[in-house]
Amino acid sequence: MEIETLTSENHSSWKDSLMLTLGMLDFDHALIEAAPLGLTDKRTPEDKMAYEKWQRSNKMCLMLIKNSISPIIRGGIPDSPNTKAYLASVEEQFQGTSKAHASTLILKLVTTKYDGRTSICEHILMLSDMARKFKGLAMEISKGFLVHFIMTSLPSAFEAFKVNYNTQKDKWSMSELIAMTVQEEERLKQEKLNVAYLVAAESKKQKGKFHKKESNKVPKTDASAPSSSNKSTSKSYCKFYRKVGHKQSECSSFKEWLAKKGNHLNMIIESFNLNVPTNTWWFDSGSMVHVTNSI
């Protein structure tokens, strides 16, 4: 187990690494128990064993602590044969650094938001670790506050989830928060997959309909209209009679029909002047489309 080397920027993480390693190696006895009195003839064998255990723990702790401090910093720390006293001297050297670290930690804590790059569980554990570090700076954060704070770090996709929590009377523990948020994250992922599947299926369906319509499309023909062969053999076609042989302008029947109906042309200068006979064509100078008001 390797202890992180102490520098001018990592005092808090170094202390965490140091205490974890000493505890795993069972060398932290000298930090937990007070130094026993020196051995005398009146001491019992049990007292002798306790004394030797503390002395060994104190010796190992001092060696590990000093070995984990960079030489530049170690030279400025007063030496001491007692582990607790030596560690206290190290703490004094980093009091100003601890304040700066606390400010940095607070800023990081309040600006950290869940961005979906990691799992929601990892995000919550990271914020919990930040909150735990405040305890070493004499700025402990309560678990209830931390749960609410983590809720505010969740994105808008969790809005319904947050509203549901706020309407409940019961408060969640950290383990309950992790379990519920992981469940909500899986639900949101499944919801996205379902939406993506429906969009893809609808797009494929519409694309299939389009191709089907195109393949089944047959040009409409007007039985009364001239065929392409008629158009190619003769340019004269009467739209009034719908027959080949003469133009509509030359059609006597069309001229007779016009005479009966009346062929008048009215020019409307102002668009609001709509007093026009129903059997005439008319033009509106302000209109984009010119139409007839009679079928």
Q: Which amino acid is at 87?
A: L
Confidence of residue 26 (pLDDT cuts 50, 70, 90): confident
Q: What integer pLDDT is reported at residue 62 of this predicted model?
A: 93
Backbone φ and ψ of 238, nearest 5°: -90, 115
Assess whether pLDDT exceeds 50 at residue 113: yes
Residue 273 domain flag: yes
Assess whether pLDDT exceeds 50 at residue 272: no
> Residue 15, exposed/middle/buried by CB under 10 A (0-12, 13-18, 19+)?
buried
Q: Total domain count for the chain?
A: 3
Cα(56)–Cα(81) distance, rounded to whole angstroms?
12
Final residue before a domain boundary, out of 142, 165, 191? 191
185-203 confidence digits (pLDDT tens): 888 888 877 766 676 666 6
Query: Mean pLDDT throughout 210-226?
Result: 52
> Domain range spanning residue 270?
230-284
Residue 294 domain flag: no
Say whether both 36 and 85 belong to one domain: yes
Residue 105 domain flag: no
Tokens of residue 269, six digits: 């200068």
Residue 138 domain flag: yes
Say whether both 27 and 83 belong to one domain: yes
Tokens of residue 237, six digits: 């076609």
Q: What integer pLDDT is reported at residue 43 of this predicted model?
A: 73
Confidence of residue 16 (pLDDT cuts 50, 70, 90): confident
> Is the dihedral angle over the CA atoms 224, 227, 233, 235 positive or is it negative?
positive
Residues 6+ apart with CB under 8 A from 228: none
Say whether both 88 and 128 belong to one domain: no
Residue 83 domain flag: yes
Q: What integer pLDDT is reported at residue 115 of this predicted model?
A: 87
Final residue before a domain boundary, out of 191, 212, 247? 191
Whole-model pTM: value is: 0.44
Query: Mean pLDDT throughout 140-151?
Result: 88
Tokens of residue 127, six digits: 């914020």
Query: Mean pLDDT throughout 267-285?
Result: 54
Residue 264 domain flag: yes
> Which contiguous run of DSSP H or E holds residue 83?
helix 83-93
Query: Mean pLDDT throughout 223-234?
Result: 46
